[in-house]
Amino acid sequence: MPPPESGAGWPRSASAIVGETVTGHHLLYIDGYSRTKKELPTGKSFKSRPFRVGNRSWRVNYYPNGQTSKYAEFISIFLHLDEVVAAPVKAQAVFRLLDPAGKLMHSHSNSTDLYEYSVSGSGYGIGDFVKREWLEESDYLLDDCIQISCDVIISEELRAEDRIALGTFMAVPPSDLSQHLANLFTTKDGADVTFHVAGETFKAHRFLLATRSLVFKAELLGGMKESRAKGDCIRIDDMLPQVFKTLLHFVYNDLLPEMEEQEEVVMAQHLLEAADRYDMQRLKLICEDKLCRHLDVSTVATTLVLSEQHNCQGLKEACIEFLKSPDALEAVMKTDSFDHLTKSCPALMKELMFKLATFSRKRKSRT
């Protein structure tokens, strides 16, 4: 007998396969890195104090000269089970190198596979976690200290459980709110505020602008109410029309339009200023990320000035890191943008020279 059509009223049942995880975090401080490197040969480790995740005891083993001869030029880091357990424990470790302020170093985040820890002392980790030569020339080693975080992710046993079968014959489509907002950007239906930007006109919806930016909220709905005094028109003369159009595109779509690579770099520079002006932090971070990815001799000086003017600390550090190469610095110093940096930001120039000199002294002393 064939099954009934949708809604025929047959009894329905449901079950689920459930795989839960338990996650814990441990932070390991290495205070006296030079001494650990000197006193422990390859294959020897220091153990952290025990910590508990998922009702089990764990330790982190730190090998300053590598866990085996294969990794003798690296720091190795391993997670170990620190107790005898009745049944194997499936766990994954995620190790991250942190800067002195405790922020993540994205290029040094490594995770193990999912392993079974079955006996006391069994351990798995990353043999080539970070190369010592690189670490010792970086800013992540400060006052002979480094920080390594460890996330332990325990996968509990899979189990089956009953579930109530609701809506078995109904297909609920995914949210299409983003598409409706994008359509508003295109059609301008119901737009109630107009911007005049360097000779071009743009219509928009004040409720959405106010939702996306506290600055727009103050201008359009708050005490400033700039638009009401000018007949629902706001004049902006210090921004390029294409930049404002791209800003509006982000307001409605929460992403940037597709652009050619060179156009993307120039637009990111302008949008960074606009994002800071209208306090749109996510857009500001997107612009910082794009500028970081396109640093070169022709852009780094201009980008460094922007980072200082708009308080972009991560972008600023990336520019200084780029300039630590003597060849790169020499080439940048020949550009017009470097002259602009020197004249417009003397305090920033002084800070840059101090950091480069400090880096040079550290490198010479290690050599």
pLDDT single digits (tens) 71-126: 999 999 999 998 888 888 889 999 999 888 766 655 578 889 989 888 776 789 99
Q: Determine the 3-state secondary structure of 128 from DSSP.
A: strand
- Contact between 195 and 234 under an 8 Å Cβ cutoff? The reply is yes
> Is residue 33 scored above 90 in pLDDT?
yes
pLDDT at residue 163, as a whole number: 59
**Over pLDDT 70: what percentage of the chain?**
84
Tell me, what's the pLDDT at 8?
46
Q: What percent of the chain has pLDDT over 90?
A: 48
For residues 126-142, give the mean pLDDT: 91
Rounded mean pLDDT, 295-302: 90
pTM of the shown model = 0.53
Q: CA angle, corner 234, sides to 265 and 306, nearest 5?
A: 25
Q: What is the pLDDT of residue 19?
A: 58
Which one, of 59, 246, 64, lies nearest residue 144 by Cα? 64
Q: Which of 97-101, 156-160, 307-311, 352-356 has the highest mean pLDDT?
A: 307-311
8-state DSSP, 223:
S
